[in-house]
Structure 1
Amino acid sequence: NRGDPKKWIFYYVPIMIPAITDDPKGKWIFTVENQVRIRLIVGNNEVKELAAREIMKKYNPDITKHSNSWVIGPLMIDSLTAYIVQETNSPVKDVYPFKAINPNQLVMEFRFECSSKVHATEIQKKIVDNVYGMK
């Protein structure tokens, strides 16, 4: 495929942004029993277009004329572990990390087990208020 720009494939580093929808009930962060659940997207059409524009800057017009046939998508993630962290980047006590092996969906739902339902609600509020974050 190296010599045929029509068949080129490009990958970008996945982003992680809240999965916000037009549905008023479609929250990106919520609790279920003793879990905090966070829905994030790793890519969308806007990100894909931005990646395509940046890629096209690196090539001459003879190559970029084939950009409509290029495949552009997020790099595959082999595995990941996510933590709820304090401002000091240390993990929050009594919140277990979320682990995923070979996640392959554009919208990921992270599920963080907490010590109780009350604790999960407190964690959710602190994330929304930017007191806690996710790493």
Structure 2
Amino acid sequence: MSVELNHTIVHARDNRASAEFFAELLGLEITTEWGPFVAVALGNGVTLDFATVPGGDITPQHYAFLVSEEVFDAAYAKIVHRGIPHQADPHGERPGEINHHDGGRGVYFPDPAGHFLELLTVPYGGWPAEAPGN
């Protein structure tokens, strides 16, 4: 068997609020809720299991998601409509913009717990020559 990521735990101040923010923004569904976890399934079978951290002390993490052009358009429209601060780069030097790395589009923005989220339509380095869509 090959090695695949099955799930990861994402710390939150409010597990339900963070899961709902993420699921609604990207058009995903909350799949299960058990114990301290509210899970959101990604398209490749991986789940993000949101867990409330007692006391709310969260070390911000970076989560990058490869999305289709259609998902990017819908999510970016929601980011702008909601006034979520966003930028084209991880250092915030291009606020209110998106980037066009490798012929795609990308954007960075915070989630409710303060994690750094990134959406990109083309992986860094571009698509391999034999990849679909090239």
**TM more than 0.5:** no
TM-score w.r.t. structure 1 length? 0.21
Structure of higher CA gyration radius: 1
Q: Whose relative contact order is higher, 1 or 2, with alpha carbons under 8 Å and at least 6 apart?
A: 1
